[in-house]
Amino acid sequence: MATQLPTTDIRIGADLIRRRKGGTPIVCLTAYTYPIARLLDPYVDLLLVGDSVAMVLHGHETTLGASLEMMIAHGQAVMRGSAKACVVVDMPAGTYEDSAAQAVVSARRIVGESGCQAVKLEGGVDMAAQIAAIVAADIPVMGHIGLQPQSVEKDGGYKIKGRTDENVAALIADALAVEKAGAFSLVIEGTIETVAADITRRIAIPTIGIGASGECDGQILVIDDMVGLTVDRVPKFVKQYADLRSVIAHAAERYASEVRDRDFPGPTHVFSRTNGGDES
């Protein structure tokens, strides 16, 4: 029998997230699949269908492996599994940078085909026109400054931001530009703590930290990092709340052993004329 989604009278929208500035911290996690969205939805305010899916689920070395079709498909899955959280879908590299017109077309497709509440794109001053155009098209936008995974090849690796006065000034300018362009919130990633805290105080929209500051208006982690499923290096800023790698590996080990020893399937896992022919 199919299980039912949790019911709620209202789904959290971008406007409600915006109004959370300075209030109870906003709880955010990434989600890429229907079952994970269902599990997380009761506990979070926002689910991000991040382009990190290219690395986490598809095995790419960077987020540049994400495509528009990939993001839409995972956005659809998360929307099917979510009833309450604000669902935001990342705009993948190559789908918005060239022009405001390109950005609007891509954003409309993401929202139209997935049903999500908002899109997210990386960049500050250089992407202000794209953000403003998408917002003008009545699509809420979440910004993203600091360490920008889509620019990792251009930056020569994953480098923490805010270490020099020049970089700090650029980060502040980016945050102000994103706010002015009309974004409803701003992710700050991989940024020196005091700089992220200062940006949070300077702008009127909520900041969502990841490797940033506890003073941000909310926090986000990649779900696979948080539950201990990451197979490669885990970033310093991650706190693991579970060790599912060990749980899954142990379960697979037990299953393999029982199959090889012919202990599985047992009498309760097969059908006979006496125990009935259905699956109940």
Burial class (CB in 10 A: 0-12, 13-18, 19+), 29: buried
Mean pLDDT, range 70-92, rounded to an integer: 98
Whether 1 has a pLDDT exceeding 50, the answer reads no
pLDDT band at 155 (very low <50, low <70, confident <90, very high): confident
d(CA 108, CA 128): 17
pLDDT value, residue 34? 98
pLDDT band at 158 (very low <50, low <70, confident <90, very high): confident
189 belongs to the catalytic site: yes
Which of 189, 193, 215, 279 is the catalytic position?
Answer: 189
In contact, 86 and 45? CB cutoff 8 Å: yes
pLDDT value, residue 8? 53
pLDDT value, residue 273? 81
Whether 187 has a pLDDT exceeding 60, the answer reads yes
Phi/psi zone of residue 100: left (φ > 0), alpha (ψ -120 to 50 degrees), beta? alpha
For 5-9, 204-208, 225-229, which range has the lowest pLDDT when averaged over its residues? 5-9
d(CA 56, CA 230): 7
Mean pLDDT, range 58-64, rounded to an integer: 95
Looking at residue 197, the DSSP 8-state letter turns out to be H
pLDDT value, residue 231? 85
Mean pLDDT, range 68-95, rounded to an integer: 98
pLDDT band at 116 (very low <50, low <70, confident <90, very high): very high
Which whole-number Å values give the CA distances from 273 to 262, 263, 264, in the listed order?
A: 22, 21, 20
